[in-house]
Structure 1
Amino acid sequence: MPHPDHHPAAIEVHHPQPLTHPPAAPLAPVQPGPPAVQSVVLPDGQVITGYTLTPAPAPAQPRPAVSWTAVNIALGGIGFGAVCGGLALLTTFIAALTAFITQLIILAAVLFGGCIAVQLFGATGHRDGGTTVNIRKAVIKRNHFHS
């Protein structure tokens, strides 16, 4: 039964009319034609009618100024350069060590040879246990020694 305060002539029916908005710069491409009208029934029985809204596109994630791949390549190049520098120093050190050892061997040979030369050719006061041979005028005839 209808409520005694409401008369059937008091009901008005409204048809939705599209709203005209001033033209704005579109953020996304707009579909041609009138927008679709959608109605929603609330739990208390009210009907809400409106236009569907196209969701705004999600903002793009900001990209870092430098990519991680570029950072890794740069760090690898720095590490390679450091290793090459270390290897160059290592080869220089080995060459210097080789020259130093060579000079020590030459110094030892000179000192050892000098000591031997002094012992052999040195003028000492006397020689004990040595044999003295006096060579006089000798004549060698037909492989035979004559004195």
Structure 2
Amino acid sequence: MNEPTAYGRPAGHETAAVEVHTPTPIVPAHTAPLMPVQPGTIPAVASVVLPDGRVVTGYAIEPAKPEPVVAKPAVSRAAVNIALGGVGFLAVCGGLLLLTTFITALTALITQLITLAAVIFGGYVAVQIFKPAGAKSGNTFHIRKAIFKRNHFNG
């Protein structure tokens, strides 16, 4: 029962017959005649006849056009930004210089006003203290419970 056949397989396991399928060629379809079309609405259709007689039809592909080269400016953006930053810095420095000048002038004015007030008040006090003895004045200055009257200490 399990005796090998001529091909080395046991009996009863014969292979089925092999079927070969051959593709059927497709008959080329005949295209309808082309109608004239105004240019610009539909791209041109190109037809190519192959050596075996088949006709291949398709749209013509226009070659890719390179993008126009944009001319670079003579000066780069970075250089312009740096220059504008320098101009702004100089403007700020000028403003700060004016501000410090104003503060210095204001300080000098306040110092002069204080000095003027001290001179006027000190002069008034000096005139009152150093009056001649014959002058009759009734100014009395109380300092620590001591009384100065007419340049004499009465303690």
State the TM-score, normalizing by the size of structure 2.
0.44
Taking CA–CA contacts closer than 8 Å with sequence separation of 6 or more, which of the two structures ends up with the larger relative contact order?
Answer: 1
